[in-house]
């Protein structure tokens, strides 16, 4: 549990970076982000969430080490558990409370997410384009065409769609509407929406959400 919470905290921490800016942890008027830079909104809650995983894992290791004893169990082993078990419970409780507060008040910047997806001028969807072209010209030929177009787009800082449309092996049977659909990230989510629904359904079926409420 602590490892999962730490992973979530670290992921959201990185998504809050200024240059990414896809989410923001809860912020209220008067909250100080930095003692020297008044403009800052530091990910303090996310740092706290992620930072507690390391001591929990170290405490878990301490408990495993207490299994190594001679003859009957003695105080050299169980005193380690007296340190580790309370710390695990305290730190994990803090992580859970922190995670609930963060997720309930988190701001999601959808416009910035879309901007980041479009940052490479369509290159992010090269795999999707290759798969679709493969249905028309074969996978190897499609890979060759998409590779050439992608390298041109990257090295010449051109739009990926523009290089695709200019390639001699791209005939008129492929319309602009088709290319636009292939190059739209919304159309290439795979099984992600279904997996999200499954996780939410499992959480609701467990009854834990009602217990928390």
Q: Give the catalytic positions in this structure.
A: 34, 73
Helix, strand, coil tally for the chain in percent (to 5): 70, 0, 30
Task: Determine whether 126 is exposed, middle or buried from the number of CB atoms within 10 Å of its CB (0-12, 13-18, 19+).
Answer: buried
Residue 136: both structure tokens together? 């028309």
Do 52 and 2 meet the contact criterion of CB atoms below 8 Å apart?
Answer: yes
Q: Residue 72 in 3-state DSSP?
A: coil
CA distance 119 to 124: 9
Do 25 and 115 meet the contact criterion of CB atoms below 8 Å apart?
Answer: no
């Amino acid at each position: 549990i602590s490892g999962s919470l730490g992973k979530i905290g670290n992921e959201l921490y990185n998504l809050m970076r200024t240059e990414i800016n896809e989410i923001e942890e809860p912020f209220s008027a008067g909250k100080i982000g930095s003692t020297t830079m008044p403009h800052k909104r530091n990910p303090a809650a996310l740092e706290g969430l992620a930072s507690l995983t390391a001591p929990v894992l170290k405490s878990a290791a301490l408990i495993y080490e207490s299994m190594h004893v001679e003859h009957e169990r003695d105080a050299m082993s169980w005193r380690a558990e007296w340190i580790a078990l309370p710390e695990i419970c305290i730190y994990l409780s803090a992580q859970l409370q922190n995670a609930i507060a963060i997720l309930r008040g988190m701001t999601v910047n959808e416009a910035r997410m879309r901007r980041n997806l479009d940052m490479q001028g369509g290159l992010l969807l090269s795999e999707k384009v290759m798969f679709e072209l493969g249905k028309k010209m074969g996978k190897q030929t499609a890979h060759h065409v998409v590779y050439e177009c992608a390298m041109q787009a990257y090295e010449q800082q051109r739009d990926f769609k523009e290089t695709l449309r200019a390639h001699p092996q791209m005939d008129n049977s492929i319309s602009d509407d088709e290319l636009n659909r292939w190059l739209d990230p919304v159309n290439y989510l795979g099984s992600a929406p279904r997996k999200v629904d499954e996780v939410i359904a499992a959480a609701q079926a467990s009854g834990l959400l009602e217990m928390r409420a």
